[in-house]
A = this chain, B = another copy of it.
């Protein structure tokens, strides 16, 4: 579809966008007043797209337009506009499965690769809040509902095999976005790659050791294969704390343009990884020793609760309605059958936990040695302090990826993190 009319695509600059929106009666009514009075601001701070906030007399909207290249890099790195189509598909499915936890879509134009959404206000990007040591009391409840429902209901536990295959095929075309993940998360940080960067020279030695660490290379390659060839559910595919907008009382998951059928643990691992990075970065944001202790305790508690609440909700959905073709209840009749199926559900979650631990590790390492970094660490001004925080995170991540089986329960992860809180790494330079 996009292909047929790709020639009609054009980048909408402010004036074009104003005219375009004025031509959409529902949107114009929502904004209110004369189109000429609307305030249009480009706010995209992501890596890929244009994002406009438009405010009128009576309301506001967010407009996202995909560019035919990676914004962070430029036209030398083309990227298909079709990602806007997949993002729209995913957003629609997530809105259906987890209502109120994603922004409402008000308009979508596939040719322009453009989506108009409700303006999330006064929400901020969660990562910014975490840097400021803000605690979010709704977060565990909301993110675990989002993950449990979007992942369970698109899995073989809820769908027929036929529905599942059709759904996998519907997202198969989003492979250019998957390749970004395959390269930037599962490959480049472990080899010499032009786009890699890290806090230098302090982490030069650690970067070199990762490139030589063959056990790590095997582990990350297994994770990569799982990412490529285990279409377990419709995953968000980029579920870090920069893809989550929050207030004290609301959580909204945005930007599912990396969505495809992949491993469930990739999404859950992404959330845990980004919380763990917030934890390790926290020491670097202290103004006085210990002034973020309550925040740090909250982060680790949140890590534990994200896993336990996700697992509880996912299991509850399975118990209440495992209507998919996997694990047919007819094979587990009677009291003994029910007990055996319940034990298998626990085993399933244990396997999923191992995946989650491994994927979380991969998400940490890529943020410290790969192309895309995050402000948790980047906003630590002193490079030596930043490198110390990063090295602690990498030490945990390396163990999580290579000794995954030694992390049996989520407290094994948080205890290991706590032990590394004040560990002093040897730095280079």
Shortest CB-to-CB span from A271 to chain B, Å, is 22
Question: Which B residue's beta carbon lies closest to that of A324?
Answer: B228
**A161 contacts partner chain B, Cβ-Cβ < 8 Å:** yes
Is A172 a contact partner of B161 (Cβ separation < 8 A)? no
Chain B residues within an 8 Å CB radius of A406: none
**A325 contacts partner chain B, Cβ-Cβ < 8 Å:** yes
Is B191 a contact partner of A179 (Cβ separation < 8 A)? no
Query: If the complex has contacts A165-B172, A172-B169, A340-B218, are A325 and B182 also in contact, measured as CB distance less than 8 A?
Result: yes
Is B230 a contact partner of A229 (Cβ separation < 8 A)? yes
Chain B residues within an 8 Å CB radius of A260: 165
Shortest CB-to-CB span from A156 to chain B, Å, is 5
Chain B residues within an 8 Å CB radius of A386: none
Chain B residues within an 8 Å CB radius of A328: 187, 191, 221
**A162 contacts partner chain B, Cβ-Cβ < 8 Å:** yes
Give the docked Cα–Cα distance between A330 and B330 (Å): 48
Give the docked Cα–Cα distance between A345 and B156 (Å): 29
Is A175 a contact partner of B162 (Cβ separation < 8 A)? yes
Chain B residues within an 8 Å CB radius of A229: 156, 164, 230-232, 326
Contact of A156 among B166, B176, B225 (CB under 8 A): B225
- A190-208 interface with B by 8 A CB criterion: 190-191
Give the docked Cα–Cα distance between A398 and B308 (Å): 35
Chain B residues within an 8 Å CB radius of A232: 229
**A344 contacts partner chain B, Cβ-Cβ < 8 Å:** yes
**A214 contacts partner chain B, Cβ-Cβ < 8 Å:** yes
The interface bits of chain A over 202-230 (1 if a CB of B lies within 8 angstroms of the residue's CB, else 0) are 00000000000011011011001100111
**Chain A: number of interface residues, binned into ranges:** 35 or more
Give the docked Cα–Cα distance between A225 and B179 (Å): 26
The interface bits of chain A over 35-68 (1 if a CB of B lies within 8 angstroms of the residue's CB, else 0) are 0000000000000000000000000000000000
Chain B residues within an 8 Å CB radius of A214: 332, 336-337, 340
**A423 contacts partner chain B, Cβ-Cβ < 8 Å:** no
Interface of A is mostly: helix
Give the docked Cα–Cα distance between A325 and B344 (Å): 33
The interface bits of chain A over 164-180 (1 if a CB of B lies within 8 angstroms of the residue's CB, else 0) are 11101100110110110
Shortest CB-to-CB span from A394 to chain B, Å, is 17
Is A221 a contact partner of B172 (Cβ separation < 8 A)? no
Give the docked Cα–Cα distance between A280 and B218 (Å): 41
Shortest CB-to-CB span from A332 to chain B, Å, is 6
Contact of A190 among B165, B224, B331, B336 (CB under 8 A): B331
**A327 contacts partner chain B, Cβ-Cβ < 8 Å:** yes
Residue among A187, A229, A231, A336 having the largest count of chain B Cβ atoms under 10 Å:
A229
Chain B residues within an 8 Å CB radius of A191: 328, 330-331, 333
Is B164 a contact partner of A228 (Cβ separation < 8 A)? yes
Is A187 a contact partner of B225 (Cβ separation < 8 A)? no
Q: Which 5 A-B pairs have the closest CB atoms?
A: A169-B172, A162-B175, A169-B169, A214-B340, A217-B331
27 A/B residue pairs, CB under 8 Å, sorted by A: A156-B228, A156-B229, A161-B175, A162-B176, A164-B228, A164-B229, A165-B173, A168-B172, A169-B169, A172-B172, A179-B325, A182-B325, A187-B328, A187-B331, A190-B331, A214-B332, A214-B336, A217-B332, A218-B341, A218-B344, A221-B327, A221-B328, A221-B331, A224-B325, A224-B326, A229-B231, A230-B230
Binding site for B on A (CB under 8 A): 156, 161-162, 164-166, 168-169, 172-173, 175-176, 178-179, 182, 187, 190-191, 214-215, 217-218, 220-221, 224-225, 228-232, 260, 325-328, 330-333, 336-337, 340-341, 344
6 additional A-B pairs beyond A156-B225, A217-B340, A221-B328, beta carbons within 8 Å, are A165-B175, A165-B178, A168-B231, A191-B330, A221-B326, A230-B230
